[in-house]
Each structure stands twice: as C-alpha cells, then as structure tokens.
Structure 1
C-alpha cells in the first residue's frame, strides 16, 4: 500500500468553513431550467411549476447559494421579458446557446424557487449588451421596498416585499471572445466600477463580484485581473474565477491531479489581487468567488449547440454522464476550495440540474443522482467549524499535464464547539490502495464516528435513472483509532470521508 502520513492540528487554521463554498448555478441553458427545476406537467410540480423532487434533491445536496440566470445567457438577457403575466411574455432568441428562451421562468419565479429550496440567490446582471442603467433597473425591481416605478411594478406582479438579494455578479466572462459584448480588460474594468458605484447609491451594503478570468489558459489570465482590479478595486468585494477544462482525455493520472491546477488558479488570482492592493496602498482585501467550476467534457456531441435555423426551446445540451473517477476529481476540487477558504469566499458548482450537473431529470418523469452528487453532499454536510491545513507526507507521481503530483490529497475541518473533526481525502493512484496514517494527538480524546469510501473496481461506472445506487459512499470497516492515530485503508481512485468527535 502507498503510505500516506497526515497530521491534523487545530493550530494550523486556514479560515472558517464558508457555507457559500457549497453554491451551485442555474442558467437558462439546455434543460437546466425547463424540465430541470421547472416542469409544470410533472406529478410533483408546485403552483409555480417547479419540481418538488428536484427541490428535495437540492436540499439533500446541501446547496447554499445559486447563481442565476447565467452564465453566457445573461450577456444577452433582458430581465423585463421575464416578469409580469406569463402569457404576455415574449419569446427571444438566445444567442449564447442558439436556443429560444420562452421567458416562462423569470426573476420572481426564480426567487420563489430559492425560498422553496432554502438557498441564497446570487444574481448576475447583463453587462454584455446592456450596462449601468439596466443593472440599476433590476436592482430597483428586486430590492427597493416600494414607491418607485419598478419596485411598484414588482408589487403589482405579486411580490409585495423586496427580494433582498445581496450578492450580485457584474456580468459574466467578459474576458471571453465567445461572450456577447466581449470587452477588453480596460473597457470592462471601467464598466464594472461605474456599475458598482451606481448600484451602491441604491444599496451600499451589496456584495459585488467583478468578472475575473474564464480559465488559466486564457491568454489574458493574470493581466486581466490586474487591469480590472486597478479600475474597480475600491468598488467590488470579490473577483470571479471560472474553470471547466478538467476532463479525462485518456490520461487518468493527469485527470486525477486536476486539483493542482485549481490550486494554481486560486493562488495566482490571490497574488494578483494582493499586488493591486499593495500598489493602491489599501487595507481592503479582494476575495475570490469561484462561481463556475466542474468537470466538463466539452468536445462531446451533447456539448455542441444547435446551428442554422434550429432554435429549439430547452434542447439537450451539456448533459455529461459522470463516472466514479469524475466524482473523485470533483471531491478533490472541493478539497482545494476548502483549503483556500481564507481567500475563496464563495463557489458555485456549475450547474445544478441536467447541464453538467449532479442531478438529472426525465421530462415529466424520474430524477436521479450522478456520481458527483455524493462528494459534494458529504462535504456540505460534514464540513463545519474551521478548515485546517493538514501536513501531508506522501510520494508523488509524474503526470503529463501537471508534472509531479502527490498520490493523495486531503483537508480537514474542526469544530471547536462540538469537538467534531471531518477528514476529506482522495487516493489519486490508478492501481494501488493507500494506507492513511493520521496523527490526531493534538486533539486529545478523538474517537471514530464513521468512515466512508466512494470507489469501484471499474472507475468508469456511471449512474443512470435505472441505477444510481449500486455505487455509493460505503462504510469503510478498516478505519480504526488507537494511540492518537487514525488508520484507514483506501482503494485506488477513491473519495473518502472520516468523521471523528471528542463527544461521549
């Protein structure tokens, strides 16, 4: 077995576990909204047409925030199309995904869904085809109590109380040439600053997210953040990070090390933000909203939008089927987000339903969990208190994409009030089990609560509507605590959770 030495010590605190780490994303893309969260013909549909089975799965997943309505979609979106009587709403061409948007679901319906699902909304404004005034209009509609034209319009549309949305994204991926209204860093930075300044004239305590880079491979990566923050630093709170280019391209070893790339992304953006802070001689720190991340097989047929005269409503798009290895990588990416909780203050798994998602649905029929559902749900449920930076001693292996990478990765959380510890660990080896030897002596009296492992001899196993339960996190009977050490054997290509406590 691969020996893995881990030391947990509450003195090595990274920062608090942030509930917003466990956010997700609902975009008007493919079947995420229509037949995803919204399906009036479904047996479980509520009065607004939202699927209650999906709401229950969202709660089980442990989602904290949901970003809406895009994504690329938002850069051509006219929010006014989605309010008022549904029968009077126009259908529009969605240029981002070459689809037709019926506007059956808009801001008021979405906000009712967030309350039913018990999630915090994260609203994005269109800075692609629109600008400052339209962002102010949407903010007025959503958050002003009454007495103005747009706040009174919301009241007339059946929502007397403000939506009270506090977290707002200033556009989406404006660094990307694929984006409607793509801008240079200088153009976007000025627009973001102007929009933020104006929005704060209505509500000073908003939390505003500026667009960062859409990936480390973007030619402007790093320089984009520097220029945008030079223009907007004083007016925003966070800068976004987006990454999807992690996929198994026939090199499983590199794929399993994908979190090293997320680490690099986060640390690079942090360094750039801090350099701008130093240059401006400011006390305020800018943090990161990693508000789009996931494994995405972008070259598969289902990721190619329609073309020509075909502008369908809710086409099948980006409906990746995830396997066990994908789930292990998703778990490892969560480990990366947690261990950077001092600077990553929010994150959004993209997306929630059907579109590269942990939850899948059949129109009018069944819903089911993909393999990636489980590491997210476990981390959201068990990560509490503070994130601890573990000392990890393990051999490395060579990868074609990332150079040398550790054969295992881990992070821990510790809740001093309850005495609970959670260890999240992955074995990246493709063929060898590992023995985790965890030094717990800095927290006397810890006892084992339970241990679970998600793995399968066939790492390509995928869940389906007919079988989403043959491969689940299972109890790991090898876990034992003795003499201040936890020892547990974990199989290759595995996601593992061990819970301990000082209670009773």
Structure 2
C-alpha cells in the first residue's frame, strides 16, 4: 500500500477560516426557485410560500451567503418586475435559460427567505442590458431607510426595514459571448468602475465584486482580469472566479485531480491582481470571490440531454444532476482547495442550492433530499473553524491524462485553538488503490479522535434518489486511530475523509 505523511503545526498558519467561503447560489434557472425554495401550497410551505423542508436542509448544509438572482439570468433581469403586488408583476421571457419568468418571487421575497435561512445576501446587478442608473436605483430601493421615492416604494411593498445588503456583484460573466450585453474588457471595466464609484457615493462601506473571466479556459483569461482591474482596482474589493468540472470519457483519474486546475486558477488570478496593484503603486489587496463552482455536466446541458428546453416554459427541469460518490469526492477536494487559499479566497458560492446543479433536490408537492455532494460541504462547513494551517504533504504521485503527475492525496487542516479542535480533510485521488497516511500530533500535545468519517463506495456511480435518499452518506471511518501521538488511517480509493480531533493545545 502506498504511504503518505502530512506534517501539521499550529504555528504555521495560512489565514483565518472565512465563513463566507461556505456560500451558495440561487438563480432563476430551472427549478432552483420555483418548486425549489419557493412552492406555495407545498405541505411544508410557510405563510410566505417557502418550503420548510428545504429551509431545514439549507440550515443543515451550513450555507453562510447566497448569491442572487444570477448568474446568466441577471444580465437580462429588471429587478422592478419582481417587487410590488404579485398580480401587477409582468411575466417575461428569460432568454438566458429559455424560460418564462413569472416574477412571483423577487427581491423582497428573497430577502425574507434569506432571513429565515440565516444567510447573508450577495446581490448581483444587471450590467448587461442595463447600467449605472438601474444599479443605484436598486441600491436606494434596497438599502435606504425611508423618505425617498424608491425607499418609500419598498415600504409600500411591505418591506418596512431596509435590507442593508453589503455584498454586491457588478454583473456576471461579462466576457462570455453567451451573456446578454456581452462586453469587451475595456467596456466592462469602465462601466463597472463608474457603477462602483456611484454606489460608494451612496455608501462607502459596500463590498463590491468585479467580474473576472468566465473560466480559466476563456481566450480572454488573464488579459481580461488585468484590464478590468486597471479600471476598478481602487473601487472594488474582489475579482470573481468561476469554474465547473465534470467527468469526461470515463477518465476518473483526471476528474479526481481537477482541484489541481482550481489551484492554478487561483494562483494565476492572484498573480494578475497583484501585478496590477504593483503597476498602480497601490498597497491595497484584491481578494477572490469564487462565486460559481461545482461539478456540472455541461456536456449534457449543451447536447440537450436534460438541458435547455426547446419551448418556452415555466421552471423546467434543467441540469438536475444526480450526483454520485465520485462527484462528492471531487466536491470535497474543491473545498480543500478553497480553504488552502484562505488568505486570498475570502468568499465563494457553490452553484447552485436546490434542484439545478444542486446539493438539495426536491419534487413538486413531494419530498426534499440531500444529494451526495451535500455531505462533504455540510461537514466541512461545520468543522472547518479557526485558522487554516500551512501543512506539508509528503505523498507519492499518480498519473492523470489531463494534469500529468499529481500528489495522490489532497489535504487541508484547520485548527480552532479556542475549542481545542483540529480538523483534517483528505482526499485519496487514486481511482483504484488505497493509501495509508499518518500525521504526527506532537506539536498539538497529542490528540484524540472526536469524529472520523469517510465517503467511499465500491460503486462510484451510486447516487441518492427520492426512493433511496441515504444511499451515499458519510460513514464512520473503519480504521482511523491515534497511537502514541500519531494519527493514522487507511484511505479507500477515490475517497473523501474527515477526521476531527480534540487537541490539548500547543
């Protein structure tokens, strides 16, 4: 059996764990909103039409922020359509996802839902078909207390208190040719800077996210970030990053190693941002909002298999992935990468929350259940506390067709000194061979296991379904143990593991 060792010391710290890294995403896409989080008449629905079973699962998932209302949807969205009496709201075509939007659920409903879910809102604005004036109108409507036309209109609509939204996205994926209002970097950079300055004249304390490239594979990548930040560096706090991964042609080895791509993506965006800061002579640091990431079978979407509808319909089933054991392991690995970069990735949103590329699935007038990817997210959100440690990994490598030689293990550790807890998250990337790993706990004064779980299965295609919602769950780790101050465990092939230890301190 291959052997690997992780060296951990509480003195070597990357950064505090930022709770915003455990964000999610609600877009008017497929059934994420309608029959997802919002279904009046459902047996569990409250007086506002919000599904109680979904709210319970969102709280269990540990989501901290939710990005809304898109996504591609936002670039053609008129926020005014979704406020006021429902009977007066217009029905529109949404060309982004080829659906009919009823606008029964809008800004004020989302903010009420976010309050009940105990999540911080991350609001995206339309800089595709709209611009500066519409953005500051939305800001005034949402955040000004009272006494102006738009703030009083919000009060008339039943939202007496200002929403006080602090985190805003300046558009979405504006370098994508698929995006309504697609722009060059110069065009978008200037518009984003103008909008950010105007918003800061209303409230200097807002946190603003400029659009980065839609993916690392875009021909605009790198140059786009540099140009946009040349315009916006002094007036934004974040540059966004988006990445989706999928199993292609049965290549399990590359899929299990795809966090290598996310690692490189983050490093390159950080390098670009810091280069622009140096050119501008600025001491300010731009962080990354990784506000779209997940496993997403885009090949199926683009080929029409469970993808975009041919006819205009309301809330069709779109990208309702049935996530597998393998997908859960990859999601766990991507979370490891986000935490490993805690010094620069200070916000993130897994896309999406319900039904569409989601951790939670529902049936109309029926049950809700946890997908396989729910579990590594929920466990990581619950136990990754305190600070992220700068560990050292000594591991053999495995060969992948896409990424070449990569370490067979992917790992991160967090230390909560106040609670005396050390959490180790580790993925065995090898698709067919187990790996033995060990960690010396002497720097922590020893330790004992409080919880140890693993996600692994002989059937990597196993998935949770309505009929069998607990087919894929974390199970007690069969052989994780601490002996003479050393943690050891045998990691099954293609597995995600978490070990939480009580440590006396250092």
Given the two structures, how large is their TM-score scaled by the length of structure 2?
Answer: 0.98
Report what 2:259 is aligned to: 259
Backbone CA RMSD of aligned residues: 1.0
Counterpart secondary structure, 2:443: coil
Report what 1:210 is aligned to: 210
Counterpart secondary structure, 2:90: coil
Report what 1:18 is aligned to: 18
The answer to whether 1:193 aligns with 2:193 is yes
Mapped to 2, the partners of 1:406 and 1:490 lie a distance apart of: 14
Report what 1:40 is aligned to: 40
Contact 1:297/1:303, CA 8 A, preserved across alignment? no
5+ residue gaps, structure 2, are none
Mapped to 1, the partners of 2:319 and 2:257 lie a distance apart of: 23
Report what 1:118 is aligned to: 118
Give the superposition deviation at 1:106: 0.4
Mapped to 1, the partners of 2:335 and 2:396 lie a distance apart of: 22
Give the superposition deviation at 1:406: 1.0
Report what 1:243 is aligned to: 243
The answer to whether 1:305 aligns with 2:322 is no
The answer to whether 1:316 aligns with 2:328 is no
Report what 2:398 is aligned to: 397
Give the superposition deviation at 1:248: 3.9
Mapped to 2, the partners of 1:440 and 1:10 lie a distance apart of: 10
Mapped to 2, the partners of 1:157 and 1:503 lie a distance apart of: 54
Q: Pairwise mapping of residues 75-474 of structure 1 onto structure 2 (< 5 A)?
A: 75-300=75-300, 301-307=304-310, 310-474=311-475
Counterpart secondary structure, 1:190: helix
Counterpart secondary structure, 1:174: coil
Give the superposition deviation at 1:303: 4.8
Q: Deviations over 1:191-221 (max 9, x none)?
A: 0000000001111100000000111110010
Mapped to 1, the partners of 2:293 and 2:171 lie a distance apart of: 17
Mapped to 2, the partners of 1:407 and 1:49 lie a distance apart of: 47
Contact 1:302/1:320, CA 8 A, preserved across alignment? no
Give the superposition deviation at 1:266: 0.4
Counterpart secondary structure, 2:154: helix
Q: Deviations over 1:348-395 (max 9, x none)?
A: 000000000010000110111110000000000000000012111111
Contact 1:83/1:106, CA 8 A, preserved across alignment? yes
Counterpart secondary structure, 2:288: strand
Mapped to 1, the partners of 2:294 and 2:422 lie a distance apart of: 26
Mapped to 1, the partners of 2:472 and 2:230 lie a distance apart of: 49
Q: Which moved more, 1:477-486 or 1:283-292?
A: 477-486
Mapped to 2, the partners of 1:245 and 1:445 lie a distance apart of: 38
Q: Deviations over 1:375-420 (max 9, x none)?
A: 0000000000000121111111111111111111100000111211
Mapped to 2, the partners of 1:480 and 1:191 lie a distance apart of: 56
Mapped to 2, the partners of 1:101 and 1:503 lie a distance apart of: 55
Counterpart secondary structure, 2:444: coil
Q: Deviations over 1:155-189 (max 9, x none)?
A: 01111110010000000000100000000001000
Mapped to 1, the partners of 2:464 and 2:244 lie a distance apart of: 21
Report what 2:503 is aligned to: 502
Counterpart secondary structure, 1:33: coil
Contact 1:302/1:316, CA 8 A, preserved across alignment? no
Mapped to 2, the partners of 1:243 and 1:471 lie a distance apart of: 25
Give the superposition deviation at 1:24: 0.2
Mapped to 1, the partners of 2:50 and 2:106 lie a distance apart of: 13
Mapped to 1, the partners of 2:274 and 2:179 lie a distance apart of: 27
Counterpart secondary structure, 1:216: coil
Mapped to 1, the partners of 2:16 and 2:247 lie a distance apart of: 30
5+ residue gaps, structure 1, are none
Mapped to 2, the partners of 1:318 and 1:472 lie a distance apart of: 22
Report what 2:52 is aligned to: 52
Counterpart secondary structure, 1:70: coil
Mapped to 2, the partners of 1:302 and 1:250 lie a distance apart of: 18
Counterpart secondary structure, 2:122: strand
Report what 1:476 is aligned to: 477
